[in-house]
Structure 1
Amino acid sequence: MIIDNDFSGDPDDLYQLVHHLLSPTVAIRAVIASHLREGDPFDAGPRTADNAVLVVEDVFARLGLDSTEVIFGGANDSLADRTTPQDSPAATAIIDEALRDDESPLFYVAGGGLTDLASAYLLEPRIADRMTVIWIGGPEHRGLASPPPGAMPIEYNLLIDVTAAQVVFNDAAFTIWQVPRDVYRQCLVSNAELRLRVATAGELGRYLYDEVAQVIEREAAAGPGAAGTYILGDSPLVLLTALVSPFEPDTSSSRHVGRPTPSIGDDGGYLDVPGARPMRVYTWVDTRLMFEDFYLKLHEFSSWQAAADTPGPSLRSTHTTSDEWKR
């Protein structure tokens, strides 16, 4: 798989990245550090993709991973139009992996904007037939859900680069599995969960907890008060790839509907395209499996890391080797 996220933004992407890195059932060929929209409250820029690279490198270091050659910086700017790519190391890496001689299915999992995927397609259209794109983003679909109160006019991840989404949805032939806003908003965890299930999982868990706690404190100070929860909305990228069913493999614990792939208008809305290629739209995700797996893997890693730092027999008694974690 190829992971693509705006790692200098909302820290839910850090949870997704760590969870994927701790999941031995997927082979991560590239991690794309992509940009945010200009003036984003998490990182106002201007070089948010460059900043995202530094975040990913830091996460790798916290996990003890030295395989930083899989980290690629994306473009710092959105597409100017639907025919001109933003070339970058990320776009080149996407093309190289998509065209590599390997019969294994390739999943492109994206938790932010789609600039680098769209750019790679504009540079090499053949990649559209070589992967399945799983995207966290886009508004609710008519007949399936309604927007939340006070919703942004254009959904957050789509707003990062509407033009890129138009390339992926309207112009290319990618197979798309979409987790729209109403579904990623289902991925709520309580502050108590984060304190007791994440912050207690060693130095890595404390780091992840602190990243979210800072956002919660800032939002509580600026708004009506603390909500008592946080949305880890990028985590379905792990659920739909690393946690599929063992027999007749599929995302069987979650629910989706099939629909013709719509076009995306300049206003971020969907435009029906009768007879278009089919796509999956997820309507419900298995948060129990997703979050329990994350909490347990995080604590398992913390225990292994603590044992690895302790000289003597305790290290030899562990059942997981450092090479296994570095997968």
Structure 2
Amino acid sequence: MELSFQVPDQKRVRLLINSDVKNEADDQYAIVHALLTPMFINKGIIAAHFGTWRTTLSMEESYAEAHHVLNLMGDKGKVPVYKGAPAAMPDEKTPVVSEGAKAIIKEALSDDPHRLFVVFLGPLTDLASAYLMEPRIEERLTAIWIGGGSYPNGETEFNLMNDIHAANVVMNSRIPLWQVPRNVYGMMRVSLAELECRVKPHGEIGKYLFEQLIKFNDEQANGWPRGESWSLGDSPAISLIMDDHEFGYVMKPAPRITNDMRYVHHQEERLIRVYHHVDARYTLEDMYAKLELFAKKR
């Protein structure tokens, strides 16, 4: 998207998005935000699985949904979509070979001088698999993960639940990791009225973003979401690249994660960046502004 300003080339970054986009309704917002951000050289979307609790074809559903979002944006064919792992890793030593894992390896080993970020809006299966397939990638990318329970103890969390083995592989590697745990990504609260005012009016993609979220909300009968509010919890993966919130994180020793998703603090050498704060106003207003400008220019 063309704006009235340009981002100097030396300040731009490469971006791969790994997303279980058909799991619910907020990944779509993060993907659109990324596609509208001129700082990013969008290198592709990797369709991620989201377990088997609803379907055994979750990755395929994410793959189709990523194509649908790109089509609504007019970016079909401009941004490649890769199939990620169809299911979780069977253990911590066996990678799940996929197009997505190979895309991570290819981009990480590229001689492109632009810094590479790979953001994970679901499980870490494709990152862990790529690392096991080609360990040389571990210091050639920065990974941002929306997932894991709150510190220090951990807790049940959906993205982590879908591949605990993969999370442990990544925690035990030297891959620079920025983790946005559940209690922090939950800060991205919005009301449905706000989305109706700020998203729905802006083009075909704005209408779709709003209506698919409302549809998902209407289909849930278990008390979540609450009815008039939502958390766009995947969106910090986009805004933290634009501004990394230098006072919003601490460096912590990477934990080992148990089968019940608790953190075991067993070492001091391997450090990861763990966020305790994200700026919802900055994140959401930037997305709203870009979506409005995109719709006007179209």
Give the TM-score normalised by structure 2.
0.91
Cα separation, 2, equivalents of 1:125 and 1:267: 28
- Conservation of the 8 A alpha-carbon contact between 2:67 and 2:76: no
Partner of 2:26: 12
Runs of 5+ unmatched residues, structure 2: 1-14
Instruction: Tell me the CA shift for residue 290 of structure 1.
Output: 0.5
- Conservation of the 8 A alpha-carbon contact between 1:255 and 1:283: yes
Instruction: Tell me the CA shift for residue 224 of structure 1.
Output: 8.5
Instruction: Tell me the CA shift for residue 7 of structure 1.
Output: 1.2
Partner of 2:195: 194
Cα separation, 1, equivalents of 2:65 and 2:225: 29
Cα separation, 2, equivalents of 1:224 and 1:203: 27
Give the TM-score normalised by structure 1.
0.83
Partner of 2:5: none
Q: Which has the larger radius of gyration?
A: 1
Instruction: Tell me the CA shift for residue 304 of structure 1.
Output: 1.0
Cα separation, 2, equivalents of 1:67 and 1:196: 30
Instruction: Establish whether residue 299 from structure 1 lines up as the match of residue 292 from structure 2.
Output: yes
| Deviation per residue, 1:228-269 (Å, 9 max, x gap) | 21010000011111x22xxxxx434x6111111212222211
Runs of 5+ unmatched residues, structure 1: 148-152, 245-249, 306-327
- Conservation of the 8 A alpha-carbon contact between 1:48 and 1:76: yes
Instruction: Tell me the CA shift for residue 10 of structure 1.
Output: 1.5
Partner of 1:83: 93
Cα separation, 2, equivalents of 1:108 and 1:125: 16
- Conservation of the 8 A alpha-carbon contact between 2:48 and 2:62: yes
Q: How many correspondences in the alignment?
A: 284
Matched residue type, 1:110: F
1:160 corresponds to which of 159, 162, 175: 162
Partner of 1:313: none
Cα separation, 1, equivalents of 2:84 and 2:202: 31
2:43 corresponds to which of 6, 26, 29: 29
**Root mean square deviation of aligned Cα:** 1.7
Partner of 1:257: 250
SS in 1 for 2:145: strand
Cα separation, 1, equivalents of 2:269 and 2:134: 22
SS in 1 for 2:41: coil
Instruction: Tell me the CA shift for residue 68 of structure 1.
Output: 5.0
**How high is the sequence identity, in percent, across the aligned residues?**
39
Matched residue type, 1:33: A
Q: 1:90 to 1:5 in 2, by over 3 A?
A: same
Q: 1:226 to 1:182 in 2, by over 3 A?
A: closer
Cα separation, 2, equivalents of 1:156 and 1:59: 23
- Conservation of the 8 A alpha-carbon contact between 2:217 and 2:225: no
Instruction: Tell me the CA shift for residue 84 of structure 1.
Output: 0.9
